[in-house]
């Protein structure tokens, strides 16, 4: 009698374990499949079968482990199985399904992920929005914007971070700028953090206003975002450094006549000094670094005036 290949024996072993009456045994088997990276098609089918056959609400954690593993494996074969679990009765399972679909990054799940933005669970909405951001499908912007403008702050918070992925869409930028002025302080954080990576002239004035926020942490992240967006420089080892010619050229390119940066360039030096005082206070600069910042802003002001001539 010909002996079966070792891998075939292994798959049959897992097939038996995944049918065990004790859920702890099934969970351990799923974790072992994941740890051993057994992402061959036969093992994937076993995990998909677990999702189809586990119907007891108390065994939601079994489905959860299978979903997590399929996401780690990036199994595109399993998309319809995972998408179906965005409607599971257990929010933990729905959350894991949304996260797994984000890991797989396949647009076949687009419709289901958009629908998940209506989920009652914050975490499910958040994971669905993140997954849509990873998909990078521009069709998601309308749905994300609608949620980002919800009267419910928790709904806004769950989707705002994902808009950063769509910075090429002016509508997404406009919503993030709106969020910088949100009456709920907590809703401003994801927008300010986004503008630590996105450079856009529309964010400058709202970021300046946030320097006067009551929350000192909000002040700090707003100061960092403002420094980045203005291209003033950054603090490294207590020294103010310039970002370089490329950042300055980007700044000039954004400073169209009548635009925010264009107006800022022609503002009296006093405003630069006032802003330097605020930035210095928020970032804890000593007098020497504060003077460097003031001088830098004045140099930048003069540079604009030279260019305008």
**224 pLDDT higher than 70:** yes
Q: Please, what is the angle between helix 60-73 and helix 41-53, to 10°?
A: 150
**226 pLDDT higher than 80:** yes
> In terms of C-beta density within 10 A (0-12 exposed, 13-18 middle, 19 or more buried), how is residue 270 classed?
exposed
CATH code of the domain covering residue 84? 1.25.10.10
* Domain annotation covers residue 202: no
Mean per-residue pLDDT, 21-29: 96
Mean per-residue pLDDT, 96-121: 97
Do 15 and 131 fall within a single domain?
Answer: yes
* Number of domains within the chain: 2
Distance between CA atoms of residues 93 and 95, nearest Å: 5
More confident of the two residues 74 and 242: 74
What is the structure's pLDDT at 274?
66
Distance between CA atoms of residues 83 and 113, nearest Å: 8
Distance between CA atoms of residues 286 and 273, nearest Å: 15
Do 18 and 133 fall within a single domain?
Answer: yes
* Domain annotation covers residue 133: yes
**247 pLDDT higher than 90:** no
Most confident residue range from 15-19, 223-227, 237-241, 305-309: 15-19
Is residue 62 within a helix (H) or strand (E), and if so which, with residue range? helix 60-73
How is residue 235 annotated by DSSP? E
Of all residues in the chain, the percent with pLDDT exceeding 90 is: 61
- Any idea which of 24-38, 100-114, 234-248, 269-283 has the lowest mean pLDDT? 234-248
Distance between CA atoms of residues 86 and 116, nearest Å: 7
Beta strands in 57-98 (DSSP E): none
Among the three residues 137, 163, 194, which one is the final residue of a domain in this structure?
137
Mean per-residue pLDDT, 31-53: 95
* Domain annotation covers residue 225: no
Among the three residues 115, 137, 159, which one is the final residue of a domain in this structure?
137
Residue 269 structure tokens: 């030096």
| Dihedrals phi, psi of 236, to nearest 5 degrees | -130, 120
Distance between CA atoms of residues 84 and 43, nearest Å: 20
**238 pLDDT higher than 70:** no
Distance between CA atoms of residues 290 and 295, nearest Å: 9
Distance between CA atoms of residues 290 and 300, nearest Å: 15
* Domain annotation covers residue 194: no
Mean per-residue pLDDT, 255-266: 39
How is residue 284 annotated by DSSP? T
Give 235's strand partners: 240
Residue 258 structure tokens: 């009548």
Half-sphere exposure of 287 (CA within 13 A, CB side): 0
Contact criterion met (CB below 8 Å) for 203 and 167: no
Do 18 and 129 fall within a single domain?
Answer: yes
* Domain annotation covers residue 29: yes
Is residue 277 within a helix (H) or strand (E), and if so which, with residue range? helix 269-283
Do 133 and 242 fall within a single domain?
Answer: no
* Domain annotation covers residue 272: yes
Distance between CA atoms of residues 306 and 253, nearest Å: 15
* Domain annotation covers residue 301: yes
Most confident residue range from 131-135, 241-245, 293-297: 131-135
The model's pTM is 0.74
Among the three residues 137, 164, 184, which one is the final residue of a domain in this structure?
137
Residue 292 structure tokens: 């460097």
Mean per-residue pLDDT, 259-282: 53
Averaged confidence pLDDT in the chain: 82
What is the structure's pLDDT at 3?
39
Of all residues in the chain, the percent with pLDDT exceeding 70 is: 75
The domain in which residue 268 lies consists of 231-309
Do 131 and 244 fall within a single domain?
Answer: no
More confident of the two residues 144 and 285: 144
Mean per-residue pLDDT, 86-102: 97
- 296 pLDDT band, cuts 50/70/90, is low
What is the structure's pLDDT at 230?
74
- Any idea which of 64-68, 95-99, 161-165, 269-273 has the lowest mean pLDDT? 269-273
What is the structure's pLDDT at 4?
40
Is residue 234 within a helix (H) or strand (E), and if so which, with residue range? strand 234-236
**256 pLDDT higher than 80:** no
* Domain annotation covers residue 95: yes
**118 pLDDT higher than 70:** yes
Mean per-residue pLDDT, 12-32: 95
Contact criterion met (CB below 8 Å) for 132 and 158: no
| Dihedrals phi, psi of 235, to nearest 5 degrees | -95, 120
Angle of CA points 142, 113, 123, to nearest 5°: 100
What is the structure's pLDDT at 298?
64
**201 pLDDT higher than 70:** yes
Angle of CA points 158, 162, 164, to nearest 5°: 135
């Amino acid at each position: 009698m010909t002996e079966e290949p070792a891998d075939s024996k292994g798959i049959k072993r897992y097939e038996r374990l995944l049918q065990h009456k004790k859920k702890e045994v099934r969970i351990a088997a799923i974790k072992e499949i994941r740890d051993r990276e057994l992402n061959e098609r036969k093992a994937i089918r076993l995990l998909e079968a677990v999702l189809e056959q586990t119907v007891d609400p108390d065994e939601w954690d079994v489905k959860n482990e299978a979903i997590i593993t399929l996401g780690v494996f990036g199994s595109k074969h399993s998309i319809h199985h995972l998408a179906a679990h965005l409607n599971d009765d257990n929010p933990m399972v729905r959350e894991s399904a949304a996260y797994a679909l984000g890991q797989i990054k396949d647009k076949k799940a687009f419709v289901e992920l958009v629908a998940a933005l209506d989920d009652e669970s914050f975490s499910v909405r958040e994971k669905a929005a993140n997954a849509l951001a990873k998909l990078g499908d521009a069709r998601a912007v309308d749905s994300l914007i609608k949620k980002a403008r919800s009267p419910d702050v928790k709904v806004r918070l769950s989707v705002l971070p994902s808009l950063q992925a769509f910075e090429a869409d002016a509508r997404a930028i406009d919503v993030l700028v709106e969020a910088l002025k949100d009456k709920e302080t907590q809703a401003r954080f994801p927008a300010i953090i986004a503008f630590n990576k996105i450079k856009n002239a529309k964010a400058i004035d709202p970021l300046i206003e946030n320097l006067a926020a009551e929350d000192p942490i909000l002040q700090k992240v707003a100061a960092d975002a403002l420094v980045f967006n203005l291209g003033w420089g950054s603090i490294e080892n207590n020294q103010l450094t310039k970002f370089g010619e490329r950042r300055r050229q980007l700044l000039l390119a954004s400073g169209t006549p009548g635009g925010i940066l264009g107006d800022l360039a022609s503002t009296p030096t006093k405003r630069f000094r006032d802003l330097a005082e605020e930035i210095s206070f928020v970032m804890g600069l000593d007098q020497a670094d504060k003077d460097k910042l003031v001088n830098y802003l004045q140099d930048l002001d003069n540079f604009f005036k030279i260019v305008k001539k």
